[in-house]
Every structure is written in structure tokens, then in C-alpha cells.
Structure 1
Amino acid sequence: MHERLANLLGAASLAVTDLVLAGATRTAGVSASGAAALVVLADAPGLGVTELGRRVGLTQSAAARMLDGLEAAGLARRHRTEGRAVHVRLTPAGEDTVGEMLAARGAPLTEVLDALDDTERAALTDLLAKLLTRLYATIGDADTMCRLCDRHRCVEGAVCPVGQAERDATGSA
């Protein structure tokens, strides 16, 4: 019944993913998981290696290897705390890179959206919010879903649909 629509959504999703990842990885000079890790750390500095890996879809050992590369590039730094805990923070160069990366990620998306008029963009905004709420019900993890989001843009004059879905699911305010 929705086969054509599902196929169009799939093709559009892949094309958008390709644009987002190409802009982010090219600008940062890192892998897709490295780019996601930089964005995650910008929003949640001081995460542990295991939690950072979970948010970007890597095992603890793969996250540690990815962090080796980010440290070698001067973008992130590990800080050992009490016991064996290790927390990760961006360096100033990492913070600058995140800003550049989010701009590079957003530019092709803005260009694509220019094909729509104001009314169509408003309708698409509402539809995407509804789809993201449904996707949250399936995925159940806002941190994972929003790992490459420019979180500040999502809440300008609005409520993030993924964050709201998570609050609704967990009963938090």
C-alpha cells in the first residue's frame, strides 16, 4: 500500500545521510563515528569511553581505538579520574572543528530544502517531527538518534521531537 512512498523515503534518507556524512567527515578529517563522537562530546563533555562508544554505535574497544585517532589529530583528550574511569573532552581545536563540521553538514541540507517553499517546509517540519517521534518508539535512544544533530538548531523556537518523545517515554519533565 505504501511501497512507493517507502521507497522514496528510503532513497531520500540515504541521499541525506550521504550528504551529512560527507560534509562532516571531510571537514573534520575523521571517520563517521569520529565525527559523531566530536558532536556528542560538544554536547556532553566528560563522557566515559564506554558511554561515548554506545552513543556512536561502537564497542568500548572500538571507541578506544577511535579516540586514539581523535587524540592523535589533536581534537579530543582523555582525562583519567579516580580509579580506572576515563573521561573524554574536546580540545579547543576539537571545539572549532565541531562548529566547522556542523556548518558543512548543514549547508547541503539547506540547499536541498531550498527546493521547497515556506508552506512546504513547514509541512515537512511537522511530518518529520511525527516520523522522529515514531522512530524514537522503535530506537528508544535520543542520544543515538541525535548523534550528528546540531542540537541548538533543533530547539530554536520549538521543542525537539526526539527529546520530547524521550521525556514522554521516561516520564521526566
Structure 2
Amino acid sequence: MNRSRVANLLGAGALAVAERVSAEAARAAGVSASGAAALSTLLVEPGIGVTELGARIGLSQPAAARMLDTLIAAGLVERHHPGGRGVRLTLTGTGRASAEKLLEARGRVLLELLEPLTDDQVHALAPALEALLAGLVENRRSEYVLCRLCDRQVCARCPVGEECRGYG
């Protein structure tokens, strides 16, 4: 086995998959790629603040605030100011529908990408991907960035989440 060749194939495949998933998710939701990540995050973590949301999707606080202004203007996200506490963010009904659409689109793209593989190849791919994802974990917060577009309902046992819990 030539590890350099496999690494090169992985790089090309990872880039192509990321671009297709990101583009289709954003298109389905009618937002930018970072907007799609924000909607997906707020779907499972309603009530987090701007800084926390930015950290979870890999944006600085100023960039997250600008992106949120766009989502709020589009009627997808609402800001709440609970008594004396910081701003909390939630999806509107339209925002929830957009988040669900983007997850459906993401899932559809990924299933289409698996079509050329046999059942045996898919079965062999799963543990390899789990190991690869676990190896990408750098700290407890890695789960938020690595899984920012994940469909949490599909992944009953998340290898990234399990690895993150090991960072105590």
C-alpha cells in the first residue's frame, strides 16, 4: 500500500465532498456556508450566544455577528435578551425549516456519493472514517467544529463526541 497515494486520494476526495456538501446545504437553506452551519448548530443548540455560536462554527465574534445580522434580516434567527444576561439566539419557524432542508440536502448528497460503492466497501469505510474523525479531535470543543453540519439524529454513536469526552 502506498500511503502517499492514499493520502493524495483522501485529500482530493475530502475537498470534493466538502465543497459539494457545503454548496448544496447552503443552496437548500438559501444562505452562505457559514449561515448553513449556524442554522444547523442552532437547530440542536438553541439559546447559545453570538460568541459561542462563532466558536462552534469556526468564526470570530465580529464575523459571527455580521453573519447573524444577515440571518436575522432574512427572518431565520431571532435575538433574545433575557433579564441581564447576554444575547441568546434561536431559530424562527422559517429558520427551523431552512435548517431541516439543509440537513436533508446534505444527507442526499452524501448518499449519492456512496452510490458507486458496494455494500462491502461501505461497511469497510465506516470504521476507517470513525478512526479518521477521532484522529482529527484536538480538544473538547472539536466536536462543535467537526460536526457543525452533522445530522445528529443519524449518528447515534458519534466518534468525535466520544473522543472529545476523553479530553476531560
Q: What's the TM-score once normalised by structure 2's chain length?
A: 0.94
Partners of 2:52 and 2:141 in 1: CA distance: 16
Map of 2:162 onto structure 1 = 164
Partners of 2:136 and 2:59 in 1: CA distance: 20
Structure 2 unaligned spans of 5+: none
- The aligned amino acid for 1:54 is A
Partners of 1:18 and 1:145 in 2: CA distance: 15
Identical residues among aligned pairs (%): 51
Alignment of 1:64-79 (within 5 A): 64-79=65-80
Map of 1:148 onto structure 2 = 149
Q: SS of 1:77's equivalent?
A: strand
- The aligned amino acid for 1:50 is T
Partners of 1:123 and 1:138 in 2: CA distance: 27
Q: SS of 1:53's equivalent?
A: helix
Alignment of 1:2-151 (within 5 A): 2-83=3-84, 85-137=86-138, 141-151=142-152
Q: SS of 1:89's equivalent?
A: strand
Post-superposition offset of 1:140: 5.5
Q: SS of 2:96's equivalent?
A: helix
Partners of 2:160 and 2:21 in 1: CA distance: 19
Partners of 2:78 and 2:115 in 1: CA distance: 39
Q: SS of 1:20's equivalent?
A: helix
- 1:116-136 deviation line (CA, Å, top 9, x unaligned): 111111110110001111111
Question: Contact (CA 8 Å) 2:38, 2:57: kept in 1 or not?
Answer: yes
In structure 2, the CA distance between the partners of 1:35 and 1:115, relative to structure 1 (3 Å rule), is same
- The aligned amino acid for 1:162 is V
Partners of 2:141 and 2:121 in 1: CA distance: 29
Equivalent pairs counted in the alignment come to: 167
- 1:126-169 deviation line (CA, Å, top 9, x unaligned): 100011111114796111110111111111xxx11001111122
- 1:97-119 deviation line (CA, Å, top 9, x unaligned): 11111111111210110111111
- 1:27-72 deviation line (CA, Å, top 9, x unaligned): 1111111100000000100000000011111111111111110011
- The aligned amino acid for 2:86 is A
